Structure 1
Amino acid sequence: MDAIPPPLPEPAPDDIRLEDVFGALNEPLRLGVVRKLLLEAPGTARPCGWVGIDPSPKSTLTHHFRILREAGVTRQRQYGLERRSEVRISDLDSRFPGLLDPVQSWQPSVRQPG
């Protein structure tokens, strides 16, 4: 069995700052990514393509995933050419209890034309 690669650079659990988490989740695409990971793959690392965000260019997705990782919201590991992400559920729950509850229940708003 292959060894699990180390995570890419991320803040230690005690260094995760609430303002950084809120800043990362302030963008609807990133909020949607975290919500999907929480609801459909809790505790499981998934590749960026699994999230199914189209038609965003790969560089844009890389940027969004980096912001989530650097804020301490997600953990990323490099598996060959593929990066897999998962939400740092236990770290966020211990640092900010209940923070992920509204993220899980969030629904994107539908804009009315006109």
Structure 2
Amino acid sequence: MRPARHPEVGDITLTGVLAALSDPIRVGVVRVLADGSERGWGEFQAPVAKSTLSHHLRVLRDAGLTRTRQEGTRCFVVLRGGELRDRFPGLLEAVLAAAEEEDLGRQVALKPAPGIT
């Protein structure tokens, strides 16, 4: 696997961020990551194929919303919350508040921990 490419903060564009957030699955991923925790790709539960979820995660990364880290064969993703707040103050909070109000992206969740039902 080749290392993931991430745009520098100054290269993140408003139109790129908004385009990445134009899909409910991607909004759902951002909502899950909004707590600041790093998550393994396999922890996400979404009503799409794994390849489609991978595509959504790549779109978020390419737009500068997330950062991906590889560890062996596993990939982990984290929201670039601080960097996004510095680049576009208030945008992330507004998007998350609107998504909460509209219940947008609710179909994306974290898989239950093993042994928990």
- Assess same fold via TM > 0.5: yes
Matches within 5 A, 1:1-114: 8-38=4-34, 41-42=35-36, 44-54=37-47, 56-105=48-97, 106=99, 107-108=103-104
- Cα gap change, 1:109/1:46 in structure 2, threshold over 3 Å: closer, same or farther? closer
Normalising by structure 2, what TM-score?
0.78
SS of 1:20's equivalent in the other structure is helix
* Count of residue correspondences: 100
How much does 1:74 deviate? 0.4
The residue type paired with residue 92 of structure 1 is L
Is contact 1:35-1:103 (8 Å) kept? no
Q: Which blocks of at least 5 consecutive residues in structure 2 are unaligned? A: 107-117
Distance 1:28 1:70 in 2: 17
Is contact 2:17-2:65 (8 Å) kept? yes
Distance 2:72 2:95 in 1: 31
Deviations 1:77-112 (A, max 9, x none): 1111111111101110000000111232212289xx
The residue type paired with residue 49 of structure 1 is G
Q: Where in structure 1 do 4 or more consecutive aligned residues deviate above 3 Å?
A: none
**Cα root mean square deviation, aligned:** 1.8
The residue type paired with residue 49 of structure 2 is P
How much does 1:51 deviate? 2.3
The residue type paired with residue 67 of structure 1 is V
How much does 1:60 deviate? 0.6
